[in-house]
Amino acid sequence: SQTIHQWPATLVQPVGSPLSLECTVEGTSNPNLYWYRQAAGRGLQLLFYSVGIGQISSEVPQNLSASRPQDRQFILSSKKLLLSDSGFYLCAWGGDKVLTEAFFGQGTRLTVV
């Protein structure tokens, strides 16, 4: 069966520091991969999605970036964090090609101080 791993679970970082959140999927090949952010009291905002290695689509312009160095690995990064980057970050995967459902990791709570 497919599983998705996301780490770390919690992270406290100072303003201006770099960020790297990692997500890996097991039990499937060529998944669509997604990064969502959930700000306090708000819904989920799609940040990036990837349909294949090296293919990244950005939905929201910001100081975050994403990379997909391997088929089942998706990384969210920042060179310099802002206070507004605080939130709950969720990685998700969907089936190959057309998305018919998505499965989520356990999330990372990022607090920028």
Partner 1 sequence: AQTVTQSQPEMSVQEAETVTLSCTYDTSESNYYLFWYKQPPSRQMILVIRQEAYKQQNATENRFSVNFQKAAKSFSLKISDSQLGDTAMYFCALTDSGYALNFGKGTSLLVTP
Stretch that binds partner 1, among 16-24, 62-70, 77-85, 86-94 (CB under 8 A): 86-94
Q: Among 19, 23, 34, 72, which residue interacts with partner 1 (rule: CB under 8 A)?
A: 34
Q: Is 56 in the site for partner 1 (CB under 8 A)?
A: no
Q: In angstroms, how far apart are the furthest CA atoms of the chain?
A: 39
Which residue, 87 or 112, is less far from partner 1 as judged by CB? 87
Residue entry with tokens 């969907």: 94
Strands (DSSP E) found in 1-113 = 3-7, 10-13, 19-26, 32-38, 44-52, 55-58, 64-70, 73-78, 87-94, 102-104, 108-112
Q: Rounded distance, CA 80 to CA 66, Å?
A: 14
Q: Is 11 in the site for partner 1 (CB under 8 A)?
A: no
Q: Is 14 in the site for partner 1 (CB under 8 A)?
A: no
Q: Estimate to the nearest angstrom the gap between the alpha carbon of 34 and the chain centroid.
A: 6
CB 92 within 8 A of CB 33: yes
Q: Is 53 in the site for partner 1 (CB under 8 A)?
A: no
Stretch that binds partner 1, among 11-19, 22-30, 65-73, 89-97 (CB under 8 A): 89-97
Contact residues for partner 1, defined by CB under 8 A: 32, 34, 36, 42-44, 46, 49, 51, 57, 59, 88, 90, 92, 97-104, 106-107, 109
